[in-house]
Amino acid sequence: MFSAIFIKRPILATVCSVVIILLGIVSIITLPVAQFPELVPPQVTLYAQYPGATPEVIAQVVASPLESQINGVDNMIYMNSVSNGQGDMTLTVTFELGTDPDMATINVNNRVQMASPSIPAEVRKYGIVVKKSSPNLLLIATLLSHDGRYDTIYMSNYALLNVVDDLKRIPGVSDAMIYTSQDYAMRIWIKPDKLAQLGLTPADIAAAISDQNSQYALGRFGNQPTDEDLEKTYIITTKGRLATPEAFEEVIIRTNPDGTSIYLRDVARVELGAKTYSFIGKQDGIPAVPIGITLAPGANAIKVADLVKKQFEDASRHFPDGIKYDIPYDTTTFVRVSIKEVAVTLFEAVLLVFLVVFLFLQNWRATIIPCLAVPVSIIGTFAGLKFFGFSINTLTLFGLVLAIGIVVDDAIVVLENVDRHMEEGLQPKEAAFKAMEEVTGPVVAIVLVLSSVFIPIAFLGGLTGELYKQFAITIATSVVISGFVALTLTPAMCALILKPKGKSKGFFIFRWFNSFFDSITNVYSAGVKFLLKRTLIVVILFLIFVAATARIASLVPSSLVPDEDQGIIMSAMSLPDGASLNMTEKLTDKVTKITKGMDQVRTSLVFTGYNLLNSSNQSNFGAAFVTLRDWEERKAPGKDSFSTARELMGKAWSIPEGQVFVFNPPAIIGMSTTGGIEGYIQNRGSDTPEEMEKVISKYIAETDARKEISSVTTSFSTKVPQYYANIDRNRAKALGVDLNDVFSTMGSIFRNYYVNDFDKSGRTFQVLISAEASYRNRPEDLRYTYVRSKTGDMIPLLSLIDIRLITGPETMERFNVFPAAKITGTPASGFTSGQAIKAMEEAARVSLPGGYTLAWTGSAYQEKETGTATAIAFALGIIMVFLILAAQYEKWSLPFAVVLAVPFALFGAFLSIMLRGLSNDLYFQVALVTLIGLAAKNAILIVEFAVIQHKNGMSIRDAAETAAHLRFRPIVMTSLAFILGCLPLALSVGAGAASRHSIGTGIVGGMLAATGIAIFFVPSFFSVIMRLTSKDDNPQDKDGTKMTKNEKGDLSPTNEGGVM
């Protein structure tokens, strides 16, 4: 017998447990800490520029060829692109979870090279950037100048030159980006009227700068080979790139016949400015430079955040006087607090389990034995997490909380059996030997059954599989360790610590409890006896419970994961199409003023000119990241993040200039942008953007009529004011004007025309040409611009161009190679994301014409994928329990007596979350899978002993009745310990409470039903199945004689109780 070695050698048993604990402690120190495991699919992002081009042109000539080549790259899920009016195109390719991001980047880059010949030359001139990206925004830091001494251009470039590079080198940082994008640029602000007076064009300016601002390689004097015997060689240098505005002002544009020259300063103003001016960042109303830090896949979020903060602290010592830094947006704050809350719950669960065990065992000697199994199993599980490459996150900690009630079971089974044999007169050591001969099989069976429920789930893929895997492996590891402890340390401690029962009556509370429990046991036994004689009633009641479970399950709404108060709310602001950046700034300033007046708000970070819905720069959009005070300071009603979001939106609704939407961030950071339901309406036909907009408007009107949906919004619009320049091509040719000169001249005036580069502070920056603001504010300013004909005449542009006002899109999006419009839905109050998704799909079937489809992205896509995975996980659990039991009992029929207990646990779980108003999310589904093993465990304890009693000579019905009575106390003890261990999850408050409520409520409700209802039916299931499959209802005992009624009665545990 395996356990005999450790009963004889208790120090060996202790050493084994100590080694397990040491391995666990070392693992705790080195394990990464995060809110979730790696749940966000890897992404590869492409960036391209086509300054001056319309969004439609960029989408057609840049995004479309790239998408056609990239489509179908290995492990791709979907891709989407955004082309905006600033001339930028961003294409994001999303891959299956678990894909190597480096290999994905290489594969995408290879496809980009194949598409390059189809891309316009000017786009290739700027370059197409391909890099792996992380949507997991860790934190946003800001540089501020409270006294206004430094502008954002200086601070942005100070960060670029002195801060960002160090941040990018921190292990675990995927990228550090400066949102303002105000890199230095040598701005050449030309004056078109002066150019026309001098017979010059912008092309002359560009050519002169390109000629005189270049780097030259001249070679060396005396370089080999040479026939002369030279003592030295010399490098030849000359003036290369220009570096200062003063140097650029001296660029010679033209030399006149009289020897005079026209310099750049004569026709333009030169300054060291910014590359773009399309973004404004402010923190609490103070101009700020936001720096976003994204987390690399698999990195320790808390450790990386600490390193980033340390780096900022070190760098701040060298900041110029007047520049400070702050971190107004930090996702790890919620992670830290939620992890701490789960740790507190873990401690509370341990304490409650110990109290329950002490109440039932009623002796500190007996209590300490099963309680030793908890620290060994729980701490040792961390070594398993390290081995499997997991992190310390909410899922693994949830697994540990549930494992507390499970791991104590095996020890209680051993202890209870040792106690029984000691009451028969055996000494502790002999009782331990005898007990282990009997319970080694059941302990191994419990370990195998519980492990068999969870281990197959670890092989599921996708988001659901990753969630289940973390949870399943955690519990399976703890169960295996607890089984090992139950077979080694527990019997050794029983032999050492337990003492024979004395004659003391015990403490009065224990006497009262024993009396009360004896009454409960008698009631239970009577109920079991009643049902054993009424098979038809058992079948009818079972079918009623199954039907009720199915009905309740259909009524419970579904969602991916519950929304949490993360201490942060977000806002998307918009003005009418075409609104300028200045007008948007006025709106964002008003929102900032409102947040300053809310006492639950700590700070607000506002982006002007940024569309949060599609992550692009648009002048009429703004975004805000509002950080709330600590949860401890917001315990008053109406101060949670959800109430705060509603309060802010209500106050901002009165602002007449624009619309303000406020919402909570997504439950899984990086899974979606807004936390809402995100998707795309694809135009698979040839409809124009205007026709697309009509279809989308009709769809949104249809969703407005659905009670499950609060709102559906889209940023797609074709009503943005634009001007169409119609060139009289015949007249241009007649006057000898080249069309390319017309377009390049307009581009040099009304957009940033890239000439070449200059050097500053060891970096390379761009030289950009554009007209002074007064020459490009209005369409009539074209009168100042001239183009030179082939004969040298200066032709006014207005004589060649007809300008008329039109409308068109500010951004064009594509999804999976088709033009598309992004939509964002918000569930109505009292409805879940699953119900809203279903309603949006129904609206699409009703309103979308042929050629249009609705496709999901982000968390909505993952939620749609979870349905089949959950069903597979549940089916695998049931099948594995059945197969393990069939192998153990060597019968195909008997496992049904155990498996049929599972529906009762499901009934309790679904009923509890329905009564509490919760949803069927991934956390609850994890609870359901756990309940399979737990409900089966209770049934196994009854069936296992019923089989033994039947083999010892009892009839099937008597064996079932006696086994139920015999195992009622350990079943209630272990189940109550587990239920109370999970109760802190169901009743918790604070950060992360919603997820704890989901899993805790399901577990507690399911176990109450499994303990309070299922154990009445299991003996009847055993009786029915055995009578249908067994030939002898009353087999002989080992001596060949029938057992008498008195002998059967002797097996009844009338003296069950504690040990002294």
Query: Does 370 reside within a domain?
Result: yes
Query: Does 818 reside within a domain?
Result: yes
Query: Does 322 reside within a domain?
Result: no
DSSP 8-class letter at 219: -
CA distances from 355 to 348, 351, 371, 449, 980 (A): 11, 6, 10, 27, 10
Residue 286 φ then ψ, to 5°: -100, 130
Is the model's pLDDT at 445 over the cut of 80? Answer: no
Asked whether the beta carbons of 772 and 255 are under 8 A apart, the reply is no
The CA distance from 854 to 1025, in Å, is 51
**Alpha helices in 82-235, H assignment, sequence order:** 101-115, 121-126, 152-162, 164-168, 192-197, 202-212
Asked whether the beta carbons of 245 and 186 are under 8 A apart, the reply is yes
Q: Which residue has the higher pLDDT, 980 or 680?
A: 680
Query: Does 230 reside within a domain?
Result: no
Using left for φ > 0, alpha for ψ between -120 and 50, and beta otherwise, residue 830 falls in: left
Residues β-bridged to residue 627:
568, 603
Asked whether the beta carbons of 206 and 748 are under 8 A apart, the reply is yes
Query: Does 219 reside within a domain?
Result: no
- Indicate whether 339 and 426 sit together in one domain: yes
Asked whether the beta carbons of 361 and 369 are under 8 A apart, the reply is no
Is the model's pLDDT at 1048 over the cut of 60? Answer: no
Is the model's pLDDT at 874 over the cut of 50? Answer: yes
Pick the last residue of a domain from 113, 133, 153. 133
Query: Does 796 reside within a domain?
Result: no
- Indicate whether 463 and 608 sit together in one domain: no
Number of domains making up the chain: 4
The CA distance from 945 to 949, in Å, is 6
* Mean pLDDT of the region 762-774: 91
Asked whether the beta carbons of 873 and 925 are under 8 A apart, the reply is yes
Q: Which residue has the higher pLDDT, 434 or 460?
A: 434
Of 46-60, 202-216, 653-667, minimum mean pLDDT range: 653-667
The CA distance from 188 to 245, in Å, is 9
Is the model's pLDDT at 737 over the cut of 50? Answer: yes
Please name which of 441, 444, 442, 418 lies closest in space to residue 431, comparing C-alpha atoms. Answer: 418
pLDDT in tens, 918-965: 888 878 887 887 788 778 877 877 887 777 777 777 787 888 888 788
Query: Does 581 reside within a domain?
Result: yes
CATH number at residue 81: 3.30.70.1430
Of 135-149, 504-518, 791-805, 980-994, minimum mean pLDDT range: 504-518
* Mean pLDDT of the region 998-1010: 88
Residue 214 φ then ψ, to 5°: -135, 160
The CA distance from 306 to 341, in Å, is 20
Q: Which residue has the higher pLDDT, 171 or 1027?
A: 171
Asked whether the beta carbons of 277 and 151 are under 8 A apart, the reply is no
- Indicate whether 83 and 49 sit together in one domain: yes
CATH number at residue 996: 1.20.1640.10
CA 409 to chain centre: 34
Residue 795 contacts by C-beta under 8 Å, 6 or more apart in sequence?
A: 735, 737, 786, 787, 788, 789
- Indicate whether 848 and 945 sit together in one domain: no
Pick the last residue of a domain from 838, 856, 874. 856
- Name the token pair of 203: 């092309």
Tell me which residue range forms the domain holding 116: 41-133
The crossing angle, in degrees rounded to 10, of helices 641-652 and 581-596 is 130
Is the model's pLDDT at 1057 over the cut of 50? Answer: no
- Indicate whether 492 and 614 sit together in one domain: no
Is the model's pLDDT at 370 over the cut of 80? Answer: no
pLDDT in tens, 571-620: 989 888 888 899 999 999 999 999 998 888 999 999 999 888 777 788 88
- Reported as type and span, the H/E element at residue 13 is helix 10-30
pLDDT in tens, 785-833: 899 988 888 999 888 888 888 888 888 999 999 999 999 888 887 677 7
- Indicate whether 346 and 493 sit together in one domain: yes
pLDDT of residue 675: 65
- Indicate whether 100 and 128 sit together in one domain: yes
CATH number at residue 681: 3.30.70.1440
CA dihedral 198, 200, 202, 204 (to 10 degrees): -130
Please name which of 499, 492, 363 lies closest in space to residue 433, comparing C-alpha atoms. Answer: 492
The burial of 95, by beta-carbon neighbours within 10 Å (0-12 exposed, 13-18 middle, 19 or more buried), is given as buried
pTM over 0.95: no
Query: Does 742 reside within a domain?
Result: no
Residue 635 contacts by C-beta under 8 Å, 6 or more apart in sequence?
A: none
**Alpha helices in 576-616, H assignment, sequence order:** 581-596
- Indicate whether 604 and 475 sit together in one domain: no
- Indicate whether 656 and 679 sit together in one domain: no
- The pLDDT-based confidence of 868 (bands split at 50, 70, 90) is low
- Indicate whether 490 and 457 sit together in one domain: yes
- Indicate whether 55 and 75 sit together in one domain: yes
Is the model's pLDDT at 368 over the cut of 50? Answer: yes
- Indicate whether 924 and 897 sit together in one domain: yes
Average pLDDT, the chain: 84
pLDDT in tens, 150-190: 999 999 999 999 999 999 999 988 889 999 889 999 999 99
Pick the last residue of a domain from 82, 100, 133. 133
- Name the token pair of 770: 């554009």
For the chain, the farthest-separated pair of C-alpha atoms sits apart, in whole angstroms, at 135
